[in-house]
Amino acid sequence: MRDPYSVLGVSKSASEKEIKSAFRKLAKQYHPDAHPNDKTAAARFNEANQAYEILGDKEKRGQFDRGEIDGEGKPKFQGFGGSGGFGGGAGPFGSRARPGGGGAGAGGFDFSSSRGAGSQFDAESIFSDFFSSAFGGAGARRPGAAPGAGPAGGGFSAAREASRKGGDIEASLSITLEDIVSDKRIEVEFSSGKKLAIKLPEGVEDGQTIRLRGQGQPAPGPSGQAGDALVRIKLLPHERFRVDGRDLRADVSVPLKTAVTGGKVAVETLEGRVNLTIPAWTDSGRTFRLKGKGLTTKIGTRNDLLVTTRIALPDAKDPLREVLARELAREAAAD
């Protein structure tokens, strides 16, 4: 993948706000909904999304700037102690012939034994010397370490220790449609007893798992990495709204008189009540679109609320009901 800064068209000194703004602009421009069956647009959208995954995360952005991860978020191989291979010396293994010692073998690796003249060929000694040099040790064990332990501050044990990761923790979080459009944090409790207040990501969906890096079990060693917290989202059904992609659908009762003469009716949204203008002679089943009253999308926008009219007949005490009944009876008799 290309450099994420180039993908979003921002400089390396760009602020978080500038990065987010650049991503939203590209996401709107190349979103698959706006370019169905356009593979080029889909590729550009995915590329922008991947770039924002790196630059939109403070920790990942720092890792990329330091050269620790690439543009796809994958760790870069850092070598074993500097340029030139293992240990930074000459040859592919970074080793040189020792003054006064035996000659270097193929590739520059010194196969001379450190046990003095007349000692027998000892493969274990050779590779012990090699890995001691490669990982920065001087053959010395850590103070108090058992025989056979790696060199102080290095060796396989240190590399293994650094790669250890604490366990992940999991929880299920039930949310409402109102939670999706709210900026409030929601508290989630894990089986371990740990509680976290999280902010739902934009465009969160039912069944989605949110990964909170470094919020899991602590690392087993001082150099390890804490595990992650995994939160599985469960969307609760709503009494008024039906989910249709990122749109919402609802029905609204319209009095017969309003449907005939026109007027306004109150419509409930996720944020409260708004007035909907009903034109004269509106049929039952007509759908009106309330812009920006639906669910959030992954690019930070809001979809729409689609409201369908249901004509309500007057109740028994309404004079209009009696007039309507007489008129219908007259028409029936005329037929």
The Cα 51–Cα 93 span in angstroms is: 36
CATH number 1.10.287.110 given to 4-65: yes
User: pLDDT value at position 73?
Assistant: 80
Which DSSP string corresponds to 218-271? PPSSTTSB---EEEEEEEPP-SS-EEETTEEEEEEEEEHHHHHH-EEEEEEETT
What would the mean pLDDT of 167-186 be, rounded to a whole number?
93
Assess contact for 264 and 278: CB atoms under 8 A. yes
Domain 242-334 classification at class level: mainly beta
Fold agreement (4-65, 169-235)? no
> Of 3.40.50.720, 3.40.50.620, 3.40.109.10, 2.60.260.20, which CATH number belongs to 169-235?
2.60.260.20
Here the tokens at position 273 are: 């009540």
Q: Please report which helix (H) or strand (E) contains residue 252, including its range.
A: strand 247-255
Q: Is the pTM of this model over 0.85?
A: no
Here the tokens at position 102 are: 């035996």
Here the tokens at position 51 are: 């770039």
Residue 188: how many other CB atoms lie within 10 Å: 21
pLDDT in tens, 100-150: 444 444 444 443 444 444 444 444 444 444 444 444 444 444 444 444 444
Domain segments of the chain as ranges: 4-65, 106-163, 169-235, 242-334
Q: Give the alpha-carbon dihedral of 260, 265, 267, 273, to 10 degrees.
A: 170
pLDDT in tens, 60-111: 898 889 888 888 888 876 555 444 444 444 444 444 444 444 444 444 444 3
User: pLDDT value at position 76?
Assistant: 76
pLDDT in tens, 212-248: 998 988 888 777 888 999 999 999 999 999 999 999 9
pLDDT in tens, 206-215: 999 999 998 9
What would the mean pLDDT of 173-202 be, rounded to a whole number?
92
